[in-house]
């Protein structure tokens, strides 16, 4: 392990569970190209129960699901079964029915029109198709409040049928795009997304405990969700995504362990090679990691529903782009994360990054709402900063 990272990391994990305010529990890991070089767990799975957080704890992975679905898309591109620039409706016909919303009329009815061009899978992969989320977009929030638009966490087809916020390809808006990528994958393969991921990604990676459909065995190791209150205190929540979802939501629906997620990160560090087989070609990985947004940039995510998200942004003031399907920091981050690294997050304050240049990746998992929790995110930033400090120290020594 670079430098004295293990001791620093343990102190950070213990610090966030004992501070005031605190996190209930956390699992954090770092891997090199071969194996995990740090595994830590601290605190409790749920504050009102006795179970200690452990490295085999199961988490709702939320949007850290996206890059796994994106990998399934890239596999189909490799095989010539998916054209990123063909209309996505070629593979998922329902997306062809969706219109653009231009606001609301005097009666509060949505003003809709046909889009000027078709949504493509490339746009879905880059979040430029026009889809949003109700917790980051006021138009979607109004549709949910006034028109009964179901939330994506219902895992229903109706939740996907939201209007486009702009004409496809004309902006960047983080939203349900990768859920639609899952529909594209299902349309091409003829199988549910969970089955596709299991056979084409999880098996060659040696992943055992990752699923859209939580069973009793995994539930017994599940970390509980917690709400951060205005005074900084935490309230345990009985939150669970549907156990038998109508739609396997490729944008947020997976449950899994941090250890299994590290196997996925190692595949990206190793040019697409998994522990038990190849997942992607090396040239696909090198293509995918590049900025595909052009001159568009990733923006701050405004916390429209305060119980679900704060205003949230990685490294404010630094230029950030989007790849297939990660955020890319265009400049070195204050943590020491080099320019060109891949990373993203999940709504319940899960954070990861993949540093292909140096051959390391990290993951930090908590189960706290709203997103952008200052204690959990601050702990992750300290964790990543300590890692890069130890890496620099090891190189000097």
Contact 209, 201 (CB under 8 A): no
Integer Cα distance of 64 and 344 in angstroms: 7
255 has catalytic annotation: no
Helix (H, G, I), strand (E, B), or coil: what is residue 112?
A: strand
- β-bridge mates for residue 41, sequence order: 27
Catalytic residue, candidates 38, 91, 140, 174? 174
Catalytic residue, candidates 38, 63, 140, 323? 63
Integer Cα distance of 181 and 199 in angstroms: 18
Dihedral, 174, 177, 179, 183 alpha carbons, nearest 10? 180
Strand order from edge to edge, sheet including 327-329: 36-43, 25-31, 360-365, 350-355, 342-346, 327-329, 320-322
Place of tokens 């084409």: 200
Integer Cα distance of 164 and 278 in angstroms: 36
The 10 Å Cβ neighbour count of residue 395 is: 9
Place of tokens 């529990």: 25
Helix (H, G, I), strand (E, B), or coil: what is residue 26?
A: strand
Q: How far is CA 343 from the centre of its chain?
A: 9
- β-bridge mates for residue 255, sequence order: 60, 211
Catalytic residue, candidates 44, 66, 380, 390? 66
Integer Cα distance of 342 and 334 in angstroms: 15
- Residue 23, CA distances (Å) to 18, 232, 309, 370, 382 in order: 8, 10, 16, 12, 14
| Radius of gyration of the chain measured on its C-alpha atoms | 20
Q: Which two tokens stand for residue 109?
A: 């009815």
- Regarding beta strands 225-228 and 368-369, do their DSSP bridges make them parallel or antiparallel, or are they unpaired? parallel
174 has catalytic annotation: yes
Looking at the chain, the number of H-run helices and the number of E-run strands are: 12, 16
Contact 197, 230 (CB under 8 A): no
62 Cβ neighbours under 8 A, 6+ residues apart: 252, 346, 347, 348, 350
Catalytic residues: 63, 66, 174
């Amino acid at each position: 392990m670079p430098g004295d990272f293990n001791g620093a990391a343990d102190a950070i994990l213990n610090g966030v569970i004992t501070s005031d305010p605190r996190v209930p529990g956390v699992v954090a890991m770092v891997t090199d190209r071969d194996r995990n070089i740090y595994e830590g767990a601290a605190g409790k799975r749920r504050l009102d129960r006795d179970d200690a957080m452990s490295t085999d704890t199961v988490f709702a992975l939320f949007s850290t699901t996206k890059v796994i679905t994106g990998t399934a898309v890239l596999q189909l591109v490799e095989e010539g079964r998916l054209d990123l620039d063909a209309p996505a409706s070629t593979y998922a016909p329902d997306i062809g029915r969706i219109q653009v919303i231009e606001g609301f009329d005097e009666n509060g009815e949505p003003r809709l029109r046909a889009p000027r061009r078709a949504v493509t899978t490339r746009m879905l992969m880059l979040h430029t198709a026009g889809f949003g989320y109700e917790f980051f977009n006021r138009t979607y929030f109004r549709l949910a409040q006034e028109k009964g638009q179901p939330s994506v966490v219902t895992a229903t087809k109706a939740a996907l049928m939201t209007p486009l916020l702009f004409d496809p390809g004309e902006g960047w808006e983080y939203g349900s795009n990768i859920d639609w990528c899952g529909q594209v994958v299902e349309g091409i393969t003829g199988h549910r997304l969970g089955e596709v991921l299991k056979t084409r990604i999880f098996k060659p990676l040696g992943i055992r405990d990752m699923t859209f459909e939580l069973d009793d065995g995994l539930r017994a190791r599940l970390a509980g969700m917690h709400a951060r209150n205005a005074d900084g205190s935490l309230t345990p929540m009985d939150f669970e995504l549907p156990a038998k979802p109508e739609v396997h939501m490729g944008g947020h629906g997976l449950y899994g362990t941090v250890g299994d997620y590290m196997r996925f990160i190692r595949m990206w560090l190793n040019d697409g090679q998994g522990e038990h087989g190849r997942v992607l070609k090396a040239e696909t990985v090198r293509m995918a990691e590049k900025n595909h947004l052009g001159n568009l940039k990733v923006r701050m995510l405004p916390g429209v529903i305060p119980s679900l998200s704060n205003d949230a942004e990685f490294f404010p003031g630094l230029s950030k782009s989007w790849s297939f399907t990660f955020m890319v920091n265009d400049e070195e981050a204050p943590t020491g994360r080099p320019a060109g690294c891949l990373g993203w997050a999940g709504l319940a304050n899960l954070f990861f990054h993949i540093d292909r240049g140096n051959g390391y990746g990290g993951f930090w998992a908590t189960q706290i709402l709203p997103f952008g929790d200052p204690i959990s995110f601050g702990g992750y930033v300290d964790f990543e900063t300590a890692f890069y400090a130890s890496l620099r120290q090891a190189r000097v020594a």
